[in-house]
Amino acid sequence: MTLLFRLPVAALLLLACSLAVAATPRFEVRYDVGFLPASGEAEVALTLEPGEATVKRFVFTMPENRYSRVTGDGRVDRKGDDVVWVPPSRGGKLAWRYRIDRKRANGAYDARITRDWVIMRGDQLVPPARVTATRAARSDARLKLHLPPGWTHADTAWLPARDGDGFAVINEDRVLARPTGWMIAGDIGARRDLVEGMEIAVAAPKGLSTPRMDLLAMLTAVAPPMREAFGTLPEKILVVRGGDPMWRGGLSGPRSMWLHADRPLISENGSSTLMHETIHLVTRIRGAEGDDWIAEGIAEYYGTQMLRRAGLLSDARAEKAVSWMRRHGRAVRTLHASDSSGKRTARAVALFADLDAEIRERSRDRRSLDDVARTLMRDGARVSTVDLREAAEAALGGPSKVLETPLLD
């Protein structure tokens, strides 16, 4: 006991954290995924090894039009869109097939498999599940992709396992760690680098004309100012690119994003789809119901600001970008909406620019919007206008005049 009192506070905290991790009941999961180009499907097998935890039941959301041939050890029941799996106490395997091709309302694909490659999200391969298990249990998960003949490479949002056998899937926020995020496999080309402790990978089907190195260089340049602004970076960013008939946009996922090959790295008005999605996946800020403008506005504002701080946009050009957003969103009367895009997001950018200026002026440049953003980074928890006002007040030392606006009524 005397020895413990002599330890530094930091050492005591480290000891407490180590004991907490050691006390967490663990179970092991392996996902084996094979791609079947001829049928347009993926064949998925989940293998469970209980370990220290008792896992009694999984309830997966598996609509029949996407998931078929569901079989497994123990008891497997389908109830509408739900598949209930009660595995044997010693563990076991659950297998299914997933139909990959998905089209948006405009006919463009946001997931597709051809004879040469596949682009999709792992969230779809392994759908959400409600798990009944030992209290506070967590999983150690591994993803293994089995490629058809002629397919040479695969990449995901996850880093390779330490033993090199598949990808290590880590998510301590959920009982079941799922292989979420974008993935690509097949006859593909990739470029990667390690910057600020973060792996950056850019991958696309071979034969596609896309500036992999330009994109890699841009993310390399903005990594240092992003770490300075947000305090942390993900272990990996994977950018998946493709051409028509894939969806002509950008969409982020956990530690990964989709970006159509025809999207410019920087648009004429100074905005950047690449940077917008990068800010989303670095900050993980999500707006609460009716407050989607917070996440979208921060992503759009910081997308331009990171380019400026990295020296890829001049101060004058960055100011013009904000001025363009201010004009574009001037007719917006409220920022509250279930989805923020276009003019509403532009109006949010103007508000965040004004809030940043207010914080810098009142703190004599000792604080900025960066302090607010770091407060709102809550590992995926949704943030509201109330949360924003509280974070701004903490940075200002008092209420924000900028946030006292009819836009937020």
Share of the chain above pLDDT 70, in %: 94
- Give residues with Cβ within 8 angstroms of 188, minimum separation 6: 117, 152, 153, 154, 155, 203, 204, 205, 206
pLDDT digits (tens, 9 = 90+) for 46-74: 999 999 999 999 999 999 999 999 999 99
CA 122 centroid distance within chain: 12
Residue 267 has pLDDT above 50, yes or no: yes
How open is the CA angle 276-280-283, to the nearest 5 degrees? Answer: 130
Q: What are phi and psi of 16, to 5 degrees?
A: -65, -45
Report the 10 Å Cβ neighbour count for 136. Answer: 11
Task: Give the residue extent of every domain in the chain.
Answer: 26-263, 279-408
- Residue type for position 401: K
pLDDT digits (tens, 9 = 90+) for 83-92: 999 999 999 9
pLDDT digits (tens, 9 = 90+) for 298-338: 999 999 999 999 999 999 999 999 999 999 999 999 999 99
Tokens 């850019």, residue located: 202
pLDDT digits (tens, 9 = 90+) for 112-135: 999 999 999 999 999 999 999 999
What pLDDT score does 149 carry? Answer: 95
pLDDT digits (tens, 9 = 90+) for 335-383: 999 999 899 999 999 999 999 999 999 999 999 999 999 999 976 679 9
Residue 9 has pLDDT above 90, yes or no: no
Q: How confident is the model at residue 175 (pLDDT cuts 50, 70, 90)?
A: very high
What pLDDT score does 22 carry? Answer: 54
Asked if residue 179 has a cis previous peptide bond (ω within 30° of 0), the answer is: no
Output the CA–CA distances (angstroms, integers) from residue 104 to 101, 246, 273, 400, in the order listed: 10, 10, 19, 41
pTM of the model: 0.90
Residue 218 has pLDDT above 70, yes or no: yes
**For the structural domain made of 26-263, what CATH number should be given?**
2.60.40.3650
